[in-house]
Structure 1
């Protein structure tokens, strides 16, 4: 039984920290009903990702499938997304697709999954929403870290016998800072 083909020209990307592998899957020019696979290695710099984009556009791919690997996908996705249809997939979702996924064949597997429409993409919001989410996450991290630092300060003061928390409602507030600065001086 042959795979159902939704996209005649597809590509798969296997992302890493320093380089990525890309595989295009296009109709074979010599054998009707079969496919030609071409694999290329690219760096992860902005220039290399632009070279990848040109390579994919030259192959006239209709869909590009890539795994959401760590944060490596972000820079590639953001450069390719305005020009190509991208499908960002959760690696766990690929386990249920027919076929074997092994490291040497990841890109071909992803290209085949894209051609058959079997790869379900993750939601990637528009740029403004992504930036707002990143800003909100960062603000939350900073607030959490500030809380940890206040707890650390309270513990250190307690270890020295100073019971600031029993007389002050905020041990990092203006009054507490003034007391600490006076002690230091």
Structure 2
């Protein structure tokens, strides 16, 4: 194949060691010179490796996205000017079966790079990458808080306390007061139920039944530990929220623009910006962005027949928040909500998840247009499809009568007057 990039390098990345293969033109025309070296992953060694690549006048460096171990290597390469780094999906550059060594993997990657068969992954700028790390860690903490709350419910169930069967949120103000009283040693169901606040006081009879159990001292100890952990997680999430609000100030206009989409709140807008950035030139069309996110329709064609295809693997963080936004907008009186209900009817009773993924795809297309064109979303209304599908509005308007010249009468012809000499009148 034709050599597209004459001076390339490829790196096989591991935790403690990297293998670097360099391919440059040889002494004779058409000849290739190849070198393979190994370096430890300490940052000083990575900078030494970068200096070697610069000395060899390498222009393109390819490497696989291996866990988090590619990051220090990528940052060391980014310090050098003139090096274009291609971070590739490991599934797309798998070596052919045969001899399997680190050196052969690096050489294979270099051969693919020099003929232009590699596509680099999307690497966000440094400011967007910082927001991405914060939002992803916040998501992990929220998930951990949910798991810890479930463990708390498990302890209450074991103690015979059915608080979550009556209160919609067992860890709310009223529920927290009841659990604290149980930990303090209170066991009277009537006294515990009287701690209810607000609308929950209407359920005091049910609470009295739900709070009568076999809550023991070891249950109290476990509940105290779970509540302490939940409070600690809440404090960490609050600190992350404050920090994210600070670092996203340069992109406040884009965030507010995304919040005009139904179902997209403050956190969803922050996550979208953290995952795709605000510069849509990296994604030429909305279809490219949907394919990268893993929300495009599946495509499976063989022997001229199109079979059912599922969505491809993409960015799970972006897909998750968009599907959550789709579920939120499904309950709204908007055009997106009407589209969800329309697709749900088409897919059947079990098609709610398919409809949510389709709406997530639609939301992502809207996001691309808002960021690419600096526009604000304008909803078309919940009756958009009703008006478009109304049989009365789809009827063709009556044909307008055309004006035609009046033909000469028979009398004119019988009198020997030529038809073209007759003055025409229009009606």
Post-superposition offset of 1:101? 8.0
Unpaired runs of at least 5, structure 1: none
Find the counterpart in structure 2 of residue 5 from structure 1.
Answer: 3
Find the counterpart in structure 1 of residue 126 from structure 2.
Answer: 127
How far apart, in 2, do the equivalents of 1:100 and 1:129 lie?
41
Q: How does 1:65-104 map to 2 (within 5 A)?
A: 65-83=62-80, 84-95=83-94, 102-103=100-101, 104=103
User: SS of the residue aligned with 1:118?
Assistant: coil
Post-superposition offset of 1:57? 0.9
Q: 1:60 to 1:146 in 2, by over 3 A?
A: same
Find the counterpart in structure 2 of residue 107 from structure 1.
Answer: 106
How far apart, in 2, do the equivalents of 1:40 and 1:179 lie?
65
Question: Could you tell me the TM-score, scaled by structure 2's length?
Answer: 0.40
Deviations 1:13-33 (A, max 9, x none): 00001100001111123x332
Q: Is the 8 A contact 1:11 1:61 kept in 2?
A: yes
Question: Could you tell me the TM-score, scaled by structure 1's length?
Answer: 0.87
Q: How does 1:5-84 map to 2 (within 5 A)?
A: 5-29=3-27, 31-83=28-80, 84=83
Find the counterpart in structure 2 of residue 139 from structure 1.
Answer: 138
Deviations 1:151-176 (A, max 9, x none): 11011101111122244443223443
Deviations 1:71-116 (A, max 9, x none): 2111211221242201111122124x99978434111111121111
How far apart, in 2, do the equivalents of 1:126 and 1:44 lie?
23
Post-superposition offset of 1:63? 0.3
How far apart, in 2, do the equivalents of 1:99 and 1:61 lie?
28
Post-superposition offset of 1:49? 1.2
Tell which deviates more after alignment, 171-180 or 58-67: 171-180
Structure 2 residue 163 is matched with structure 1 residue 164:
yes
- Work out the number of aligned pairs and report it: 181
Q: Rg bigger for which structure?
A: 2
Find the counterpart in structure 1 of residue 339 from structure 2.
Answer: none
How far apart, in 2, do the equivalents of 1:128 and 1:100 lie?
42
Unpaired runs of at least 5, structure 2: 185-427
How far apart, in 2, do the equivalents of 1:89 and 1:100 lie?
21
How far apart, in 2, do the equivalents of 1:101 and 1:93 lie?
19
Q: Is the 8 A contact 1:67 1:91 kept in 2?
A: yes
Structure 2 residue 172 is matched with structure 1 residue 173:
yes
Structure 2 residue 117 is matched with structure 1 residue 118:
yes
Find the counterpart in structure 1 of residue 418 from structure 2.
Answer: none
How far apart, in 2, do the equivalents of 1:12 and 1:33 lie?
20
Tell which deviates more after alignment, 9-18 or 76-85: 76-85
Which structure carries more helix by proportion?
A: 2
User: SS of the residue aligned with 1:36?
Assistant: strand
How far apart, in 2, do the equivalents of 1:101 and 1:169 lie?
60
